């Protein structure tokens, strides 16, 4: 009998790795490091699969039913359709999709590389991590979470670099958004190379946009939580929200890219926008703490141009008399949120044949200014 019992136990223990593997596979395949999708380039596109998992939680209405004059908006919508690179356009008001269109052979099920829009997702993950106790405060030092990348000989500015400095792009690192990322394509350790850049400005003082800084923050989140950024995102944010990233880039050390190379559908980006419009609450569940939504979409630093400021990985602006905050990605990946009007707007563009001169961003502001706001304000 003991021999039989021992055999049963041995069989059960032999199945344990399989059970654990099945448990891990519950998360998106994009999070599976065993696939060996180690990056060869800093920005990745990957072969992104279609997403046919759209659910029935969407509420659909019409422009006019939600207080938007469709006749006033018609010319603006027609202009948007003229773009040779636009893939999607979604407009939501009061929690309803009131307009949705896909262009240039794209479909609702297509996943898009949302580029730096994913920085705003990363910001949300830090709010969750703070609320869950994985992090203490935005005043925490980067060195406390990534000690292997620092030494006592480093400059005081680098040693005292804070989470806040990275979240507000006031890190002081001498990063050049195009040249630095090209150099990383030949690097075996992106985080090490980013942190080895000279600190040319005192952290916390001067805005300097850096995708490298957001990548370091992905490494911080990984070490603080004991989960990859991809797994943490799906467990605490994406799965409760009904989102699955179809692709997520990975660096040579296994850190998922922070703030770029994430693919999802336009509807999923819209749902994330609606979550922020709801101050982090989704169907009665507080996925992101409300205080973090307020803090991250409030001016944290003056960036010295036409923007109203920058929060924690959110761009702040004003359209007419209305405050707006936006997640913006290269090549025309755009999420605009206007709280006072209960508006969420998403548009995505393809990269092929796209000069990435940010004309798409200007066009989105013109649409809001010339058409959408008048369509709501017009008596």
10 lies in a domain?
no
Give the residue among 157, 147, 258, 144 at the shortest CA–CA distance from 198: 157
pLDDT at 17: 36
pLDDT at 38: 58
Of 31-40, 257-266, 343-352, least confident by mean pLDDT is 31-40
Q: Average pLDDT of 264-278? A: 97
Is the predicted pLDDT of residue 213 greater than 90, yes or no?
yes
Give the residue among 345, 303, 301, 302 at the shortest CA–CA distance from 324: 345
Q: Average pLDDT of 198-216? A: 95
324 lies in a domain?
yes
46 lies in a domain?
no
Mean pLDDT value across the chain: 88
* CA separation for the pair 43, 63 (Å, rounded): 37
Q: Average pLDDT of 206-227? A: 97
Instruction: Find tokens 């009904």 and name the residue.
Output: 242
Q: Tokens for 57, please give them.
A: 């939680």
- According to DSSP, the residues that pair with 344 across neighbouring strands are 92, 337
Contacts of 336-341 with C-beta under 8 Å, sequence gap 24+, read 336/273, 336/364, 336/368, 337/273, 337/276, 337/277, 337/297, 338/368, 339/277, 341/93, 341/373, 341/376
pLDDT classification of 225: cutoffs 50, 70, 90: very high
pLDDT at 9: 38
pLDDT at 305: 74
- The tally of CA atoms less than 13 A away on the side-chain side of residue 107 is 7
What CATH number is attached to the domain comprising 287? 3.40.710.10
pLDDT at 19: 35
User: pLDDT tens across 139-157, in order?
Assistant: 999 999 999 999 999 999 9
pLDDT at 351: 81
Q: Tokens for 201, please give them.
A: 């400005």
Is the predicted pLDDT of residue 12 greater than 70, yes or no?
no
Q: Average pLDDT of 302-310? A: 84
* CA separation for the pair 246, 50 (Å, rounded): 8
Give pTM, 2 decimals.
0.90
Of 18-27, 68-77, 336-345, least confident by mean pLDDT is 18-27
Percent of the chain whose pLDDT exceeds 90 = 74
- According to DSSP, the residues that pair with 250 across neighbouring strands are 256
Residue 140 neighbours by CB distance under 10 Å? 16
174 lies in a domain?
yes
Q: Average pLDDT of 13-17? A: 37
Q: Average pLDDT of 87-98? A: 97
Is the predicted pLDDT of residue 11 greater than 60, yes or no?
no
Percent of the chain whose pLDDT exceeds 70 = 88
Is the predicted pLDDT of residue 24 greater than 60, yes or no?
no
Q: Average pLDDT of 262-280? A: 97
The better pLDDT of the pair 54, 262 is held by 262
Q: Cα–Cα distances in Å, from 40 out to 43, 117, 185, 216, 223? A: 9, 22, 6, 18, 23
Q: Which domain holds residue 247?
A: 64-377
Cβ–Cβ < 8 Å for 207, 170: yes
- According to DSSP, the residues that pair with 347 across neighbouring strands are 89, 334
- The tally of CA atoms less than 13 A away on the side-chain side of residue 344 is 23
Q: What total number of domains does the chain contain?
A: 1
Backbone angles phi and psi of 139, in degrees to 5? -85, -5
pLDDT at 27: 66
pLDDT at 46: 64
Q: Tokens for 351, please give them.
A: 């990269």
82 lies in a domain?
yes
49 lies in a domain?
no
Give the residue among 33, 93, 6, 71 at the shortest CA–CA distance from 227: 33
Is the predicted pLDDT of residue 82 greater than 50, yes or no?
yes
């Amino acid at each position: 009998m003991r021999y039989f019992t021992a055999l049963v136990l041995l069989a059960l223990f032999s199945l344990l790795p399989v059970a654990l593997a099945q448990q891990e596979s519950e998360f998106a395949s994009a999070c599976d490091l065993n696939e060996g999708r180690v990056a060869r380039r800093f920005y990745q596109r990957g072969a992104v699969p279609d997403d046919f998992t759209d659910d029935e939680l969407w509420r659909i209405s019409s422009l006019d039913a939600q207080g938007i004059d469709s006749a006033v908006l018609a010319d603006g919508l027609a202009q948007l359709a003229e773009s040779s690179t636009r893939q999607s356009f979604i407009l939501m008001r009061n929690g309803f999709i009131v307009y949705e269109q896909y262009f240039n052979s794209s479909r609702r099920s297509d996943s898009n590389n949302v580029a730096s829009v994913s920085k705003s997702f990363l910001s949300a993950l830090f709010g969750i991590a703070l609320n869950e106790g994985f992090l203490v405060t935005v005043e925490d030092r980067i060195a406390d979470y990534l000690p292997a990348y620092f030494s006592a000989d480093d400059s005081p500015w680098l040693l005292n670099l804070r989470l806040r400095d990275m979240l507000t792009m006031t890190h002081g690192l001498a990063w050049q958004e195009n040249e630095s990322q090209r150099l990383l394509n030949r690097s075996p350790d992106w985080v090490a190379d980013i942190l080895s850049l000279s600190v040319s400005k005192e952290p916390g003082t001067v805005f300097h946009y850096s995708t490298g800084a957001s990548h370091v923050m992905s490494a911080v989140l990984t070490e603080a939580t004991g989960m990859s950024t991809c797994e943490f995102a799906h467990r605490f944010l994406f799965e409760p929200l009904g989102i699955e990233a179809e692709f997520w880039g990975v660096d040579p050390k296994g850190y998922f890219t922070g703030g770029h190379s994430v693919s999802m559908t336009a509807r999923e980006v819209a749902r994330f926008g609606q979550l922020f419009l709801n101050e982090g609450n989704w169907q009665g569940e507080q996925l992101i703490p409300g205080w973090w939504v307020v803090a991250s979409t409030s001016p944290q630093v003056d960036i010295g141009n036409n923007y109203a400021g920058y929060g924690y990985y959110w761009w702040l602006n004003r359209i007419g008399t209305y405050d707006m905050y936006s997640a913006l990605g290269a090549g025309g990946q755009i999420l605009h949120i206007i709280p006072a009007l209960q508006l969420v707007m998403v548009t995505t563009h393809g990269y092929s044949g796209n000069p990435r001169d940010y004309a798409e961003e200007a066009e989105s502001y013109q649409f809001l200014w010339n058409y959408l706001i008048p369509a709501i304000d017009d008596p």
